[in-house]
Amino acid sequence: MRLLSPVTFLNTKGFRICTSSNAQSKPDLMSFICRQIRSSGPISVSDYMKLALHHPIYAISKFPKVASEFQKLHLVERSDRLRAVQQSTLGPLLDALKLSPAIHWHSSLDEIPRGQCSYYLAHEFFDALPIHRFQLAGDLENRNCVEVCPEAGAILQKIAQRVADDGGAALVVDYGHVGESGDTLRAFKNHELHDPLKDPGQADITADVDFAFLRRSVEATNTPVVVHGPVTQAYFLVHMGFMARLKVLVHKCHLEEDKKNLIASSEMLLGSDKMGKRFKFMAILPRSDSADQSYVPAGFFPTWPSASTIQPSSASKT
């Protein structure tokens, strides 16, 4: 109820998004790895993509032809305060790159113009959407709580339709499960667990994403797209060549402290008791008209026989 209140909502109250200690998110583990990649010199398209994901404007500075076509920038942001933050942040970056695209802000995805090939990256987006939480008196497959986020399913259906109509792709990255969890609603304040119903607007509220529900939401519409995953973060990174790249970076480190930082960060990213299992990846691509329907994007393709993607469990059917 206080999601967009200019008085009480966390993301509209001053500039707390950068200074607040409420959000319990992962540390900036990839920044050191990206710096190492940058200092060693990118040698392939995949290296440029790693840099682009860490610093989107950087990729444009490397491809002048792309920059020349960069005429419009569409941002979805409901908060007036955050729009101002985005404008003040983007301005100097665009000026430095000698770019002057028209910036348009929108309150919803529906307002974004159609007809252009687009790529969507939903990174820790769906976990922030409101959920419906049902508490059961009896037991349902060893659970007494069910959480559903209809808005997440509706948004992903729209994204899938855009991918099918206009081309492009979508990648969803978030904390989540495949239907086996039910009681995940929680809040954090000052880096500690907090009662979600206390101090509304002053704490970071989140709930794990049900990737099985998201996948079913897209498949139920019969939209001509192909859904890949979900897979765990460890699976995705390893199949993207993470270990091979880590070995190169460790070899290039001159300081023992840098080596320890790289290894510790990697353990955090891949560990099954850390982010390696809790984070999930899911991709959406247009369905091809060609006879070959076996294409699987990088990160989802099983690079050894025993590897397999995660399939939604029967417990996810609600």
The CATH number of the domain holding residue 175 is 3.40.50.12710
Specify the pLDDT at position 20: 43
Amino acid present at 303: T
Looking at the 3D structure of the chain, how many domains does it have? 1
- Looking at the domain assignment, is residue 74 inside a domain? no
CA-CA distance, 27 to 261, in Å (whole number)? 12
- Longest CA pairwise span in the chain (Å): 63
The answer to whether the beta carbons of residues 174 and 279 sit under 8 Å apart is yes
CA-CA distance, 297 to 101, in Å (whole number)? 31
Return the half-sphere exposure (C-beta side, CA atoms, 13 A cut-off) of residue 271.
Answer: 8
Copy the structure tokens of residue 228. 């890949």
- Looking at the domain assignment, is residue 166 inside a domain? yes
CA-CA distance, 132 to 141, in Å (whole number)? 19
Specify the pLDDT at position 314: 43
Distances (CA, A) of 287 to 119, 181, 223: 15, 31, 9
Block residue for tokens 């989140």: 206
The answer to whether the beta carbons of residues 245 and 258 sit under 8 Å apart is no
CA-CA distance, 299 to 156, in Å (whole number)? 20
Its sign, for the CA torsion 296, 298, 302, 307, is: negative
- Looking at the domain assignment, is residue 9 inside a domain? no
Block residue for tokens 């190492």: 36
- Looking at the domain assignment, is residue 90 inside a domain? no
Number of Cβ atoms within 10 Å of the Cβ of 233: 25
Whats the size of the chain, residue-wise? 318
| pLDDT per residue rounded down to tens, the chain (318 residues) | 344 444 444 444 444 443 444 444 444 445 544 554 444 444 344 444 444 444 555 555 566 666 666 678 888 888 888 899 999 988 888 888 788 888 899 988 899 888 888 888 888 889 989 889 887 776 656 667 888 999 999 999 999 999 999 988 999 999 999 888 878 888 888 878 888 888 877 888 888 999 999 999 999 999 999 999 999 999 988 888 888 888 888 888 888 888 888 888 888 889 888 888 889 999 999 987 664 566 788 888 765 555 455 555 444 444
The answer to whether the beta carbons of residues 48 and 59 sit under 8 Å apart is yes
**131 φ/ψ angles, rounded to the nearest 5 degrees:** -120, 160
Q: State the residue range of the domain holding 174.
A: 31-42+116-316
- Looking at the domain assignment, is residue 241 inside a domain? yes
CA-CA distance, 234 to 35, in Å (whole number)? 21
- Looking at the domain assignment, is residue 79 inside a domain? no
- Looking at the domain assignment, is residue 17 inside a domain? no
177 forms bridges with which residues in the sheet? 210
Which DSSP state fits 315? G
- Looking at the domain assignment, is residue 26 inside a domain? no
Specify the pLDDT at position 244: 87
3-state secondary structure of 174: strand
